[in-house]
Amino acid sequence: MSAQSAFAQIAAEDGRAALVTVVSGERRGSKLLIRADGTSEGGLGDVELDRIAVKAADDLLWEERSELAEAGDTLLFIDVTAPAPRLVIFGAVDYAAALCRLARAAGWRPFVCDPRSQFATPDRFPEAEEVIAAWPEEAFARTGGIDRATYVAVLTHDPKLDDAALEIALRSDAPYVGAMGSRRAQAHRRERLLAAGLEEELLERIAAPIGLDLGAVTPEETALSIMAEVVAVRHGRDGGRLSQSAGRIHEVGA
Protein backbone atom coordinates (compact mmCIF):
# COMPACT_ATOMS: atom_id res chain seq x y z
CA MET A 1 0.00 0.00 0.00
CA SER A 2 1.32 3.43 -0.93
CA ALA A 3 1.85 6.16 1.67
CA GLN A 4 -1.06 8.09 0.12
CA SER A 5 -3.42 5.10 0.32
CA ALA A 6 -2.37 4.30 3.88
CA PHE A 7 -3.01 7.91 4.89
CA ALA A 8 -6.48 7.82 3.32
CA GLN A 9 -7.28 4.62 5.19
CA ILE A 10 -6.13 6.09 8.52
CA ALA A 11 -8.25 9.20 7.91
CA ALA A 12 -11.28 7.03 7.06
CA GLU A 13 -10.80 5.14 10.32
CA ASP A 14 -10.58 8.41 12.29
CA GLY A 15 -6.95 7.79 13.18
CA ARG A 16 -3.94 10.07 13.60
CA ALA A 17 -1.16 10.46 11.04
CA ALA A 18 0.71 12.96 8.87
CA LEU A 19 1.42 12.71 5.16
CA VAL A 20 4.46 14.74 4.12
CA THR A 21 4.69 15.60 0.42
CA VAL A 22 7.52 17.38 -1.39
CA VAL A 23 5.73 20.16 -3.29
CA SER A 24 8.81 21.88 -4.73
CA GLY A 25 12.36 20.78 -5.31
CA GLU A 26 14.05 17.97 -7.18
CA ARG A 27 12.15 15.29 -5.23
CA ARG A 28 8.75 16.82 -5.94
CA GLY A 29 5.90 14.37 -5.42
CA SER A 30 7.74 12.13 -2.93
CA LYS A 31 5.63 11.19 0.08
CA LEU A 32 6.31 10.05 3.63
CA LEU A 33 3.58 8.77 5.94
CA ILE A 34 4.23 9.30 9.68
CA ARG A 35 1.98 7.56 12.19
CA ALA A 36 1.30 8.67 15.76
CA ASP A 37 3.33 5.76 17.14
CA GLY A 38 6.42 6.98 15.27
CA THR A 39 6.39 4.37 12.51
CA SER A 40 6.54 5.55 8.91
CA GLU A 41 5.96 4.44 5.35
CA GLY A 42 7.39 5.70 2.08
CA GLY A 43 10.15 8.27 1.91
CA LEU A 44 11.28 11.60 0.50
CA GLY A 45 14.38 10.23 -1.17
CA ASP A 46 16.84 11.65 1.33
CA VAL A 47 17.58 10.51 4.88
CA GLU A 48 18.11 14.03 6.19
CA LEU A 49 14.91 15.26 4.55
CA ASP A 50 13.02 12.37 6.14
CA ARG A 51 14.44 13.35 9.54
CA ILE A 52 13.36 16.96 9.13
CA ALA A 53 9.89 15.84 8.03
CA VAL A 54 9.46 13.53 11.01
CA LYS A 55 10.50 16.27 13.44
CA ALA A 56 8.13 18.82 11.90
CA ALA A 57 5.25 16.37 11.75
CA ASP A 58 5.64 15.29 15.37
CA ASP A 59 4.41 18.63 16.68
CA LEU A 60 1.73 19.14 14.03
CA LEU A 61 0.28 15.68 14.70
CA TRP A 62 -0.73 16.83 18.16
CA GLU A 63 -1.45 20.44 17.29
CA GLU A 64 -3.81 18.87 14.74
CA ARG A 65 -3.11 21.25 11.89
CA SER A 66 -1.57 21.05 8.43
CA GLU A 67 0.98 23.49 7.06
CA LEU A 68 3.85 24.11 4.68
CA ALA A 69 7.41 23.71 5.95
CA GLU A 70 10.74 24.68 4.43
CA ALA A 71 13.70 22.33 4.45
CA GLY A 72 16.53 24.18 2.75
CA ASP A 73 15.60 24.49 -0.92
CA THR A 74 12.78 22.00 -0.53
CA LEU A 75 9.18 22.89 0.33
CA LEU A 76 7.11 20.31 2.19
CA PHE A 77 3.39 20.11 2.78
CA ILE A 78 2.48 18.31 6.00
CA ASP A 79 -1.11 17.10 5.87
CA VAL A 80 -2.47 15.96 9.24
CA THR A 81 -5.51 13.85 10.03
CA ALA A 82 -6.60 13.34 13.62
CA PRO A 83 -9.63 12.26 15.64
CA ALA A 84 -11.50 14.72 17.83
CA PRO A 85 -9.68 15.43 21.12
CA ARG A 86 -10.78 13.53 24.22
CA LEU A 87 -11.99 14.95 27.49
CA VAL A 88 -11.84 12.36 30.28
CA ILE A 89 -14.11 13.41 33.14
CA PHE A 90 -13.80 11.77 36.55
CA GLY A 91 -16.92 11.95 38.67
CA ALA A 92 -20.43 11.01 37.55
CA VAL A 93 -21.95 14.24 38.89
CA ASP A 94 -24.31 16.91 37.53
CA TYR A 95 -21.35 19.03 36.47
CA ALA A 96 -20.12 16.09 34.37
CA ALA A 97 -23.44 15.82 32.55
CA ALA A 98 -23.37 19.52 31.65
CA LEU A 99 -19.70 19.28 30.62
CA CYS A 100 -20.45 16.29 28.38
CA ARG A 101 -23.16 18.22 26.58
CA LEU A 102 -20.93 21.21 25.99
CA ALA A 103 -17.89 19.14 25.00
CA ARG A 104 -19.93 17.19 22.46
CA ALA A 105 -21.36 20.41 21.02
CA ALA A 106 -17.79 21.72 20.63
CA GLY A 107 -16.74 18.61 18.71
CA TRP A 108 -14.88 16.83 21.51
CA ARG A 109 -15.24 13.22 22.66
CA PRO A 110 -16.18 13.21 26.36
CA PHE A 111 -15.73 10.14 28.58
CA VAL A 112 -17.25 9.88 32.06
CA CYS A 113 -15.47 7.68 34.61
CA ASP A 114 -16.52 6.78 38.13
CA PRO A 115 -16.16 3.48 40.05
CA ARG A 116 -19.64 3.97 41.53
CA SER A 117 -21.68 1.97 39.03
CA GLN A 118 -24.98 3.26 40.42
CA PHE A 119 -24.04 6.74 39.21
CA ALA A 120 -21.89 5.93 36.17
CA THR A 121 -24.69 4.85 33.83
CA PRO A 122 -25.11 5.64 30.11
CA ASP A 123 -28.66 6.92 30.58
CA ARG A 124 -27.38 9.71 32.86
CA PHE A 125 -24.76 10.79 30.32
CA PRO A 126 -26.21 10.23 26.83
CA GLU A 127 -23.72 12.65 25.23
CA ALA A 128 -20.68 10.76 26.55
CA GLU A 129 -18.58 8.74 24.12
CA GLU A 130 -18.47 6.10 26.84
CA VAL A 131 -19.40 5.85 30.51
CA ILE A 132 -16.87 3.75 32.40
CA ALA A 133 -17.61 2.37 35.86
CA ALA A 134 -14.03 1.73 36.98
CA TRP A 135 -11.19 3.11 39.08
CA PRO A 136 -8.81 5.52 37.32
CA GLU A 137 -6.12 3.06 36.24
CA GLU A 138 -8.62 0.79 34.49
CA ALA A 139 -10.70 3.73 33.28
CA PHE A 140 -7.75 5.40 31.55
CA ALA A 141 -6.81 2.07 29.93
CA ARG A 142 -10.36 1.62 28.61
CA THR A 143 -10.35 5.08 27.04
CA GLY A 144 -7.27 4.07 25.08
CA GLY A 145 -4.64 5.50 27.41
CA ILE A 146 -3.45 9.08 27.80
CA ASP A 147 -1.78 10.87 24.90
CA ARG A 148 -1.13 14.48 23.97
CA ALA A 149 -4.74 14.90 22.83
CA THR A 150 -6.28 13.70 26.11
CA TYR A 151 -7.51 16.35 28.55
CA VAL A 152 -8.51 15.40 32.10
CA ALA A 153 -11.09 17.01 34.39
CA VAL A 154 -11.51 15.69 37.94
CA LEU A 155 -14.89 16.78 39.31
CA THR A 156 -15.42 14.64 42.39
CA HIS A 157 -14.74 15.62 45.98
CA ASP A 158 -13.68 12.13 47.03
CA PRO A 159 -9.93 12.02 47.83
CA LYS A 160 -9.74 8.31 47.02
CA LEU A 161 -10.90 8.92 43.46
CA ASP A 162 -9.42 12.40 42.99
CA ASP A 163 -5.93 11.49 44.12
CA ALA A 164 -5.79 8.23 42.17
CA ALA A 165 -6.85 9.97 38.94
CA LEU A 166 -4.49 12.89 39.45
CA GLU A 167 -1.46 10.72 40.22
CA ILE A 168 -1.88 8.94 36.88
CA ALA A 169 -2.79 12.02 34.83
CA LEU A 170 0.00 14.22 36.17
CA ARG A 171 2.62 11.63 35.22
CA SER A 172 1.22 11.33 31.69
CA ASP A 173 1.42 13.33 28.46
CA ALA A 174 -1.98 14.96 29.09
CA PRO A 175 -1.64 18.67 28.23
CA TYR A 176 -4.35 19.62 30.72
CA VAL A 177 -5.25 18.24 34.15
CA GLY A 178 -7.92 20.19 36.01
CA ALA A 179 -9.47 19.53 39.41
CA MET A 180 -12.57 20.94 41.06
CA GLY A 181 -12.62 22.19 44.63
CA SER A 182 -12.11 25.25 46.79
CA ARG A 183 -8.65 26.62 47.43
CA ARG A 184 -8.73 25.02 50.87
CA ALA A 185 -9.60 21.67 49.29
CA GLN A 186 -6.77 22.16 46.79
CA ALA A 187 -4.31 22.81 49.62
CA HIS A 188 -5.32 19.60 51.38
CA ARG A 189 -5.10 17.68 48.11
CA ARG A 190 -1.63 19.06 47.49
CA GLU A 191 -0.48 17.88 50.90
CA ARG A 192 -1.84 14.39 50.25
CA LEU A 193 -0.21 14.11 46.83
CA LEU A 194 3.14 15.34 48.15
CA ALA A 195 2.93 12.77 50.93
CA ALA A 196 2.18 10.13 48.29
CA GLY A 197 5.48 10.98 46.56
CA LEU A 198 4.36 13.22 43.70
CA GLU A 199 7.02 15.72 42.70
CA GLU A 200 6.46 19.44 43.25
CA GLU A 201 6.84 20.24 39.54
CA LEU A 202 4.11 17.75 38.65
CA LEU A 203 1.71 19.34 41.13
CA GLU A 204 2.24 22.66 39.38
CA ARG A 205 0.52 21.15 36.35
CA ILE A 206 -2.87 20.99 38.08
CA ALA A 207 -5.36 23.62 36.92
CA ALA A 208 -7.11 24.17 40.22
CA PRO A 209 -9.58 25.52 40.95
CA ILE A 210 -10.65 24.26 37.53
CA GLY A 211 -11.96 26.59 34.82
CA LEU A 212 -11.82 30.25 33.86
CA ASP A 213 -13.10 33.00 36.11
CA LEU A 214 -16.57 33.55 34.60
CA GLY A 215 -18.43 33.88 37.88
CA ALA A 216 -20.13 30.57 37.09
CA VAL A 217 -22.93 29.44 39.42
CA THR A 218 -24.98 26.70 37.72
CA PRO A 219 -23.64 23.36 36.42
CA GLU A 220 -24.06 24.68 32.86
CA GLU A 221 -22.10 27.85 33.59
CA THR A 222 -19.42 25.84 35.39
CA ALA A 223 -19.17 23.51 32.39
CA LEU A 224 -18.70 26.56 30.17
CA SER A 225 -15.94 27.80 32.48
CA ILE A 226 -14.15 24.44 32.33
CA MET A 227 -14.58 23.95 28.59
CA ALA A 228 -13.34 27.48 27.92
CA GLU A 229 -10.15 26.77 29.85
CA VAL A 230 -9.64 23.44 28.09
CA VAL A 231 -10.05 24.99 24.65
CA ALA A 232 -7.71 27.86 25.57
CA VAL A 233 -5.01 25.40 26.69
CA ARG A 234 -5.44 23.37 23.53
CA HIS A 235 -4.77 26.43 21.40
CA GLY A 236 -2.01 27.84 23.60
CA ARG A 237 -4.04 30.79 24.88
CA ASP A 238 -4.59 32.26 28.35
CA GLY A 239 -8.33 32.67 27.98
CA GLY A 240 -8.46 36.44 28.51
CA ARG A 241 -10.91 38.86 26.92
CA LEU A 242 -10.39 39.47 23.19
CA SER A 243 -11.15 43.17 23.69
CA GLN A 244 -7.99 43.37 25.80
CA SER A 245 -5.82 41.23 23.53
CA ALA A 246 -3.18 42.85 21.33
CA GLY A 247 -2.41 39.72 19.32
CA ARG A 248 -4.10 38.05 16.38
CA ILE A 249 -7.59 36.79 17.25
CA HIS A 250 -7.31 33.57 15.27
CA GLU A 251 -4.34 31.45 14.26
CA VAL A 252 -5.13 32.17 10.60
CA GLY A 253 -6.48 35.61 9.81
CA ALA A 254 -9.63 36.01 7.75
Q: What are the tens digits of pLDDT across the range 86-96?
A: 999 999 999 99
Q: Please state, rounded to an integer, the average pLDDT across all residues of the chain.
A: 91
Kindly tell me if the per-residue pLDDT of 154 is higher than 50: yes
| pTM for this prediction | 0.87
Q: Which residues, other chains included, contact 53 with Cβ-Cβ below 8 Å and sequence gap of 6+?
A: 20, 32, 34, 44, 69, 71, 76, 78
Residue among 4, 30, 18 nearest 61 (CA): 18
CATH class of 86-234: alpha beta
- Supply the pLDDT for residue 227: 97
Kindly tell me if the per-residue pLDDT of 243 is higher than 80: no
Domain with CATH 3.40.50.720 in the chain: 86-234
52, 112 Cβ separation under 8 angstroms: no
Distance CA 172, CA 155 (A): 19
Residue among 94, 179, 88, 192 nearest 136 (CA): 88
Predicted confidence band at 254 (pLDDT cuts at 50, 70, 90)? Answer: very low
